[in-house]
Homo-oligomer: A and B are copies of this chain.
Amino acid sequence: MKNYRIAIMGATGAVGQQMIKVLEERNFPISELRLLASSRSAGRKVPFKGGEIKIQELNDDSFAGMDFVLGAVSNPLSMQYAGKIVDSKAVFIDNSSAFRLNEDVPLVVPEINPDDARANNGIISNPNCSTIITLTALSGICRITPIRKMIASTYQAVSGAGVEGMNELEKQISDYCQGNPLVSNVFLTQILSNVIPMIGSKLENGYTTEEMKLQNEGRKILHTPDLKVCCTCVRVPVMRSHSISVQLVTEDPLSVSEACSAIANAPGCRLVTELDGRDFPTPLDTADQDLVYVGRVRRDLIDEDRGLSLWCCGDQIRKGAATNAVQIAMLLADLK
């Protein structure tokens, strides 16, 4: 069996650290794991498979000899290094949004469009976290009949803003308990005991960049260019799992029980029928594991033939980012 050489660009962030864990958990056959970060972190050691790996400073020569580079950095850094990675003959699996809508770059959820990944030109984009979680929840339904319309309201965890977002919520909880004033740097206002209906930057049509991703990325991943999605993205004081309330309209009529069977049988999904005495998932249930949990599947009360309503939760750092990227690498390496 071949052993792979893998680099993680941005190895010290929330997603980068999770990529290391997922590679280890899935026992990815690795001959070299190169951990790349800024000069600030260079030299620090990170445990991996019983040993330790020293973090190296990211530079133009970081990618020589690599089979895969998993990117967990900002758009500008992804754009800066993409050319070098492609030149080095590694496949760049990029978690930033820089190339997601580029027509030469596949945008992949392995459970949905694995063939797109195989047709890459050196760069594959990992979709937006809410998009991955929502589409994984709907992947079984999409196999029966295309989705034509979706209305989604999200309940997004603070991990979506990285380690800093998680730290800000933790700090606000402890400051609240100690009677200290609460400080907001990462989020636009206090996130403890609050929800914030603004993620990303606002576009001319009134939606945010984050809200348009479910439609724009969904069209590309599902190969349904006419898909219409109306989304409201809301930050909630939850640590690391996103939840999405979805109303969808399919092309052909679909019963609730057909939809439930499709979800139950879809890879990467768990249809929740019993969980600690409940028949629905919460974001705490899905933290730190890889499945997307789905519940509250019911007939839409507006379109009673083609409409369905459901609720899904998934770990933002794992399936919403790190796990999906590692799955893409596994798919290209032809690993199960």
- Residues of A with Cβ closer than 8 Å to B? 149, 151, 153, 155, 169, 173-174, 176-178, 188-190, 193-198, 205-207, 215, 228-230, 232, 234, 236-239, 243, 245, 247, 256, 276, 278, 280, 282-284, 295-302, 307, 309, 311
Cβ 8 A contact of A245, one of B194, B234, B299 = B234
Nearest first, the 5 closest Cβ-Cβ pairs linking A and B are A206-B298, A153-B153, A177-B177, A153-B245, A232-B245
Whether A195 contacts B243 in the complex (CB less than 8 A), given A177-B173, A278-B189, A301-B215, comes out as yes
A169 vs B193: C-alpha distance when bound (angstroms): 9
Question: B302–A151 contact, CB under 8 A?
Answer: yes
A229 vs B247: C-alpha distance when bound (angstroms): 12
A309 vs B101: C-alpha distance when bound (angstroms): 25
Question: A195–B278 contact, CB under 8 A?
Answer: no
Cβ 8 A contact of A300, one of B230, B282, B301 = B230
Distance to closest chain B CB from A311 (angstroms):
5
Question: A197–B296 contact, CB under 8 A?
Answer: yes
Whether A189 contacts B234 in the complex (CB less than 8 A), given A197-B243, A301-B215, comes out as no
Whether A189 contacts B284 in the complex (CB less than 8 A), given A155-B236, A245-B234, comes out as yes
Question: A206–B280 contact, CB under 8 A?
Answer: no
Distance to closest chain B CB from A134 (angstroms):
13
**A197 (CB) vs chain B CBs: closest residue:** B311
Whether A194 contacts B299 in the complex (CB less than 8 A), given A173-B176, A230-B307, A237-B237, comes out as no
Question: B296–A206 contact, CB under 8 A?
Answer: yes
A243 vs B155: C-alpha distance when bound (angstroms): 12
B residues in contact with A228, CB < 8 Å: 301-302
Cβ 8 A contact of A205, one of B149, B193, B230, B299 = B299
B residues in contact with A189, CB < 8 Å: 276, 278, 282, 284
**A232 (CB) vs chain B CBs: closest residue:** B245
B residues in contact with A207, CB < 8 Å: 298, 301
Whether A197 contacts B300 in the complex (CB less than 8 A), given A176-B173, A237-B237, comes out as no
Distance to closest chain B CB from A150 (angstroms):
8
Known: A195-B282, A228-B301. 19 other contacts (CB 8 A): A149-B302, A153-B153, A155-B195, A155-B234, A188-B278, A189-B282, A193-B238, A193-B284, A194-B283, A194-B284, A195-B238, A197-B280, A197-B296, A198-B296, A205-B301, A207-B298, A232-B309, A236-B237, A237-B237
